[in-house]
Amino acid sequence: MGTWDAGPFDNDGAADFLIESGGSAASLAQLLMMCIEAPDGGYLDVDDGQPVIAACELIALGFGYGNLETAPPKIVSLARTLGPNEKLRKLALRALPRIRDPKHSEVADLWSHEPKFHARLESLERRLAAAGD
């Protein structure tokens, strides 16, 4: 049985990516570039989109923008190890619009009926932008 919820770490795709990659800066950058460089007009599969959201959240947490108190212990550890990373922050801000577009992102399409999902992505984008101020 899989896990599926609107939170950035509340699905199997995100969990699998973080376990397999260890949340390293290199693996996060590679994932974000895959999203950014996806062909225009192409459709990003849910299994590719969920890890991107988790990566963006992890990056925001690395800057201290988010609630580490409610994050799972493994995520807290990864965020503290990652720390602030400006290159990743900029990549995350480029990847999020692709993930938020239900015409080109299956994860956005699947959650199109849930305002909480969209509010979380908007909050994430604002926190990432604020981290650069």
pLDDT at 3: 52
Q: Is residue 78 part of a domain?
A: yes
What total of structural domains would you count in the chain? Answer: 1
Q: Is residue 115 part of a domain?
A: yes
Q: Is residue 2 part of a domain?
A: no
pLDDT at 7: 76
> Model-level pTM greater than 0.85?
yes
Q: Is residue 1 part of a domain?
A: no
Q: Is residue 38 part of a domain?
A: yes
Q: Is residue 35 part of a domain?
A: yes
* Whether 52 contacts 121, CB under 8 Å: no
The enclosing H or E element of 56 equals: helix 46-62
Q: Is residue 4 part of a domain?
A: no
Structural domain that includes position 106: 12-131
**Confidence category of residue 41, pLDDT binned at 50, 70, 90:** confident
- Burial of 99: CB neighbours in 10 Å, binned 0-12, 13-18, 19+: buried
pLDDT(1) > 70: no
Rounded mean pLDDT, 117-130: 94
